[in-house]
Amino acid sequence: MQDLDIQTIAPLALIVLSALSLFWYIKSTREIRDSETWPVVEGTITKSEVRATLRMGDVKEEEGPVNYELILWYLYVVDEKEYKSHRIKIGGVQARETTVRWGRFWGSTTTYDDVVAKYPEGKTIDVHYNPNKPQQSVLELGGNVLILLIVALFFFGMAFLIFFFLSPQ
């Protein structure tokens, strides 16, 4: 049996990563399309804040790198059952105490403060929920999952380069 080397393993690993990214892109694109017909119920914002923490853990410095966390939760009721979620948009704004540098969403000019202003604690909001899985919901329709397609193409391109141009002839 021939020994596997990096020129063989790397392209295979990259193709697997490419396939996973492509799968996730297709799944998310379908979910975005399907969500356009999801029913709407009223919900309530139960938590909405921006938390700033130093990236160096417990080090107390006057100035230093800061992580901003968006914490946003809402409740809604479907068929007399209460659900709690943090999802704002498919493939876009997520708010499960996710740390994003500089307090901006990747590829967006929306800041966490903008989101907190739009969805203040106690506000009544429209919640779009999946009728087949009511625990899946969003506050805003649409979404942006193009980054997943870009990642899939990048991994595939890297696999192609390694396999055809860097492998021994």
3-state secondary structure of 64: coil
Dist. CA 124–CA 110, nearest whole Å: 21
pTM: 0.69
pLDDT for the residue numbered 29: 85
Local structure of residue 138 (DSSP, 8 states): E
Which tens digit of pLDDT belongs to each residue from 48-70? 988 776 665 555 555 556 667 78
DSSP E strand stretches across the chain: 40-54, 66-78, 81-85, 96-101, 124-129, 137-138
- Mean pLDDT across the stretch 59-83? 80
Q: Percent of the chain, pLDDT > 90?
A: 30
Indicate if the pLDDT at residue 39 is higher than 90.
yes
pLDDT for the residue numbered 106: 44
Nearest to 143 by CA among 93, 98, 90, 103: 90
Indicate if the pLDDT at residue 46 is higher than 50.
yes
